[in-house]
Amino acid sequence: MKKRLGPQMVLMVLGMLALLAGLWTGLARLGWTLPPLRLQAYHGPLLVSGFLGTLIGVERAVALGRRWPYAAPLLTGLGALAVLVGLPKPVGPILMTLGSLGLVAIFILIIRIQRALFTAAMGLAALVWLVGNALWLAGRAPYEVVPWWAGFLVLTIAGERLELGRIMRPSAAAQTAFVLATIVLLLAFVLSVVSFDVGVRLLGAGLVFVALWLARYDVARRNIRQQGLPRFMAASLLVGYVWLAVSGIVAIIFGGVISGPHYDAVLHTLFLGFVFSMIFGHAPIVFPALMGRAIVFQQSFYAHLVLLHLSLILRVVGDLSGWAEGRQWGGVLNVIAILLFLANTVRAVLRSSTKT
């Protein structure tokens, strides 16, 4: 039976707008001449807070089943809208920061309901996001805030892997390793404020640690031998863990770069290679929970997955070798992979609703 669409739909539309504007500004920052949105400086915030922050907030609000938690994704979504319609400068950042404060409030409630390693990890992620947004609001440059934004997503995803029960009954050793990896990340975030270069290199080490932890304990390694959706999810996760490790290694090598191709490589191996691979892998189970509509797995999902990773290889090879065209075309194909993912997801929803 289909569920009635709730406020999550409106919020998802705001999140989608932020995603599309974020992709557009990303292409402009790669040097493509596009009708100007004059929002290049907001590329990171639109994608991290406007899109992903809103999506994560909606996911939590739906799971809690209460009304007030929807305020968090509403604030980040409206923050993105404020940026898009050109409201005076502090409005968008203030709304996005309030949205991240809202997610912290949500997790205070969640942790009171369920004390567990995964709720603590995701609560910490929300706090890290809030600190990052507060630094940005206080006038810190986006590159200085990037470690915090990255930390928000990495800790959220690691926590979600635990929550989804895909990491079965973690042993004491696994839990200790998880806590240690989290401590390394936290030290790196703080250090990046006082000594950016050292902080970024330590962050790199933390990312490699988390990637190894996920690769070691996630059931994805076993599921890759299955068929259909479990196999697709496992493939998305495993390749995402590889990119997470690559991002960490590139960060260790290049340290505190603040713009240009090396900066691009550190950031997008993580944001596209890891984060978007996780989104692709989780969409077939998270989307139905949010929208109340089933998604039937289609083999065509591999098209967006493969395109994302091949195009990212092209982009990163371009970044690291100084081949500007490879970098630029890789970026265009990254965008096409994400648009293809949206189209394939909508198509799968339509197919499944005609079947019910």
d(CA 196, CA 133): 17
d(CA 279, CA 291): 15
Which listed residue (131, 267, 295, 340) binds ligand HEM by CB under 6 A? 267
**Minimum distance from CB of 207 to ligand HEM (Å)?**
15
| Nearer CB in complex with ligand HEM: 232/276 | 276
Query: Using the 8-state DSSP alphabet, how is residue 38 labeled?
Result: S
| Nearer CB in complex with ligand HEM: 262/293 | 262
Q: Angle at CA 181, nearest 5°, toward 178 and 185?
A: 135
143 binds ligand HEM (CB under 6 A): yes
d(CA 4, CA 348): 19
CB distance 19 to 345 below 8 Å: no
Among the residue ranges 6-14, 22-30, 182-190, 217-225, the one whose residues contact ligand HEM (CB under 6 A): 22-30
Both tokens of 157, joined, read 């995803």
Site string for ligand HEM, 164-203 (x = CB under 6 A): ----------------------------------------
What is the separation of C-alpha 290 from the centre of its chain, rounded to a whole number of angstroms? 17
Q: Give the chain's largest Cα–Cα span.
A: 57
Helices marked H in 195-300: 196-217, 220-223, 228-254, 261-268, 277-291
131 binds ligand HEM (CB under 6 A): no
d(CA 224, CA 222): 6
| Nearer CB in complex with ligand HEM: 124/154 | 154
**Minimum distance from CB of 278 to ligand HEM (Å)?**
11
Which residue's structure tokens are 């009171």? 112
146 binds ligand HEM (CB under 6 A): yes
207 binds ligand HEM (CB under 6 A): no
83 binds ligand HEM (CB under 6 A): no
293 binds ligand HEM (CB under 6 A): no
d(CA 104, CA 94): 15
100 binds ligand HEM (CB under 6 A): no
Interface residue list for ligand HEM (CB under 6 A): 23, 26-27, 29-30, 43-44, 47-48, 52, 142-143, 146, 149, 259-260, 263-264, 267-268, 271-272, 275-276, 331, 334-335, 338
